[in-house]
Amino acid sequence: MPKNDSFFQEGQPFFRSGKHFYGNVRILCRLSILTALYVLLTMVSIRAGNLRITFASLPLVVCALLFGPWQAATVALMGEFMNQMLSYGFTATTALWLIPPAVRALVIGAAAVRASSARRMPEDRPVFCYVVCALAAIATTVCNTAVICVDALIYHYFTPVLIYGDLLVRLGTGLLTSVVVASVAMPLTHLLRRQQTARSL
């Protein structure tokens, strides 16, 4: 993989001086923009009980494909924290609700880094992207179910029907949403990577 590729920024120390300062500012700016986009897309969602249909995972998928798992997980954690604060305020389970989107970011980002090569990027492999996004959606739904269960036990509203009754529906909508998000993320990521490569020449 070329040295100027985004993945090589993952392992670099963040606080550096001189010519690296501008690069650090760019990282902060893009994380802030992607976090804001995540919060905005989360607010524009369809909710029905435990079911939530949203495309908030789009900035996470794009960030994971471009910059790897750690920056994507950072966006997920910051974005979901802001979403929780705006929606419910700080509660005993706030930290737990940050886990599912972070899991999605880590799964896709780790798979993208592992599958990347000098000639073919992850977004150039449609089957790979669809499969990884689907697996990440399943992992996210399972994590969400676990968090809902803990939240229900803490706040005394636990019933098996409430927690597990719509599990299959949530899995289905999660998989369908992951297909739509992957279909949008692949060309968008390809465009952004091409622009980044052009600027580095």
Q: Per-residue pLDDT tens for 159-185?
A: 888 788 888 888 999 999 999 999 999
In-domain check, residue 16: yes
Q: 120 versus 154: which is more confidently predicted?
A: 154
In-domain check, residue 129: yes
Q: 102 versus 195: which is more confidently predicted?
A: 102
Mean pLDDT for 74-102 is: 95
Q: Which structural domain range is residue 94 located in?
A: 6-200
In-domain check, residue 164: yes
Mean of the per-residue pLDDT values of the chain: 84
Q: 97 versus 15: which is more confidently predicted?
A: 97
Mean pLDDT for 55-65 is: 94
Q: 7 versus 97: which is more confidently predicted?
A: 97
Please name which of 101, 16, 5 lies closest in space to residue 57, comparing C-alpha atoms.
101
pTM: 0.82
In-domain check, residue 1: no
Q: How many domains does the chain have?
A: 1
Q: SS3 letters for the chain?
A: CCCCCHHHHCCCCCCCCCCHHHHHHHHHHHHHHHHHHHHHHHHCCEEECCEEECCCHHHHHHHHHHHCHHHHHHHHHHHHHHHHHHHCCCCCCHHHHCHHHHHHHHHHHHHHHHHCCCCCCHHHCHHHHHHHHHHHHHHHHHHHHHHHHHHHHHHCCCCHHHHHCCHHHHHHHHHHHHHHHHHHHHHHHHHHHHHHHHHHC
Mean pLDDT for 56-65 is: 95
In-domain check, residue 177: yes
In-domain check, residue 138: yes
Q: Is the model's pLDDT at 3 over the cut of 50?
A: no
Distance CA 97, CA 42 (A): 13
Banded pLDDT at 16 (limits 50, 70, 90): very low
Terminal CA-CA length for the chain: 15
Contact criterion met (CB below 8 Å) for 102 and 74:
no
Distance CA 95, CA 143 (A): 13
Which CATH number is 169's domain given?
Answer: 1.10.1760.20
In-domain check, residue 192: yes
Distance CA 68, CA 114 (A): 10
Banded pLDDT at 199 (limits 50, 70, 90): low
In-domain check, residue 61: yes
